[in-house]
Amino acid sequence: TYKKMEKKKKNTMTKNLTPLDPEEKDKNIQEYVEEKETLIKKVKEVAELIKRSKRTVVHTGAGISTASNIPSFRGPKGVWTLRDRGITAKEAGVKSVPMTKAKPSKTHQAIKKLMDVNYIHHLVSCNIDGLHLKSGISREKMDELHGNIFVEDCRQCGKEYIREHDVTMTVQNPKDHITGGACECGYPLRDTIIHFDEKLNSRYLERAIKESTKAEVMLVLGTSLKVAPANQLVFMGQAKKKRKSSVSQLATYTTI
């Protein structure tokens, strides 16, 4: 069922659109644009959906942080795309800054503002850059499924510590995640980053599932929905019974 929905989503997203780079042959990383008037019409339509929704959940990916000069992974100039093609970021003209120095983009700020006025009720993100946290969104209002470079926690008592530095820089062994610090309870602190083949933190995953299940509207920003289980959350809950609005399309069409 998911594969059928994924195929339908791809066909819908690229219908009647113009490739941003006509020379790009890989359809999996191609970006598209459309007429300004059409885009404005769709933005207004999405705005109405949000206004009518009693419960809206936002799902974000690396694409919303490119405006903060943090490269994405799968785009035409994404980290993995360039790596596979043997091209350096400098050769591709990609602007980048360390995550510790990056600032929230207008998209991050807009999400925070919509939360403040109760139009967005929860956030689920696969980003580890901490920009949602920097924008002012509380830990209780979001689930960062892949962790946050500014957060370390205690696996014994569950207490979290938010730092101003990248806590992964002091990790000696990525497999044990130990940062070198100690919790108030005496147990070692660990970073919260989820590496490949590691299980997600059940606390955040379970809450993300719960919040997604309650959502009437899902806004999907800056992600191609390639990574499970995050890509399955957007098809859960009340949203699947009503009209879904995937704003990953809008994020692809324009810089928000």
Instruction: Measure the CA–CA gap between 170 and 151, rounded to whole angstroms.
Output: 13
Q: Which of 59, 122, 132, 146 is catalytic?
A: 146
Give the pTM.
0.80
Predicted local distance difference test score (pLDDT) of residue 200: 93
Q: What is the pLDDT of residues 37-70, one digit of tens each?
A: 888 998 999 999 999 999 999 999 988 998 998 8
| 163 in Cβ contact with 190 (< 8 Å) | no
**What distance in Å separates the CA atoms of residue 192 and residue 167, rounded to the nearest whole number?**
9
For 250, which DSSP code? H
CB atoms within 10 A of CB 187: 13
Structure tokens at 215: 């959502």
What phi and psi, each to the nearest 5 degrees, are found at residue 14? -100, -5
Query: Is residue 157 within 8 Å of residue 187, measured between CB atoms?
Result: yes
- Host H or E run for residue 135: helix 131-135
State which amino acid sits at residue 88: T
The predicted pLDDT at position 31 comes to: 65
Q: Before 98, cis peptide (omega within 30)? A: no
What is residue 18's predicted lDDT score, i.e. its pLDDT? Answer: 62
pLDDT for 256: 31
Taking the mean position of all CA atoms in its chain, how far away is CA 109?
A: 14
- Is 121 catalytic? The answer is no
pLDDT at 16: 60
pLDDT of residue 122: 97
Residue-level pLDDT, tens digit, the chain, 256 residues: 444 444 554 445 455 666 555 555 556 666 667 788 888 998 999 999 999 999 999 999 988 998 998 887 777 676 767 677 777 777 777 777 888 999 999 999 999 999 999 999 999 999 999 999 999 999 999 999 999 999 999 999 999 999 999 999 999 999 999 999 999 999 999 999 999 889 999 999 999 999 999 999 999 998 878 788 888 888 886 645 544 444 444 332 222 3
